Amino acid sequence: MPFSQQLLLIGGAVVILLVVIHSVHKRHILIDDSLFWIAFAVVLVVLGAFPQIVFFFARLFGFQSPANLVFAAITAVLIVKEFRTTAKLSILRDKVSQLAQEVALRTNEEQDSE
């Protein structure tokens, strides 16, 4: 992996880490949700600092370039993360809908009893 790609990988990971820490500090994201992003950034720093790991797995899985392995792995991880986020969002939307219906029924019952 060329040194410029190593620097880009490490720099991007540090930026992700700083954004996550800033978001937690400003209470835009919960600490539980930030753990994934912190672990993700740490893995990127490790891969950038020790490119031998990437070369080993690129040869093992038959990638022509270690950079292709990094891009494929990042894409796969983010797709899985997006799916999990979508599933959680779907559950929360259903709960909000149920709560809205319950509030509407209670409001209607209160108006009928008056």
- What tens digit of pLDDT does each residue of 66-108 get? 889 989 999 999 999 999 999 999 999 999 999 999 999 999 8
Burial of 24 (0-12, 13-18, 19+ CB in 10 A): middle
Q: What is the pLDDT of residue 104?
A: 93
Nearest residue to 10 (alpha-carbon basis) of 62, 63, 46, 57: 46
- Give the Cα-Cα-Cα angle 46, 29, 71 (nearest 5 degrees): 35
Mean pLDDT over all residues of the chain?
89
* CA dist., res. 37 & res. 21, Å (int): 10
pTM of this prediction? 0.72
CB 20 within 8 A of CB 35: no
pLDDT bin (cut points 50, 70, 90) of residue 62 is very high
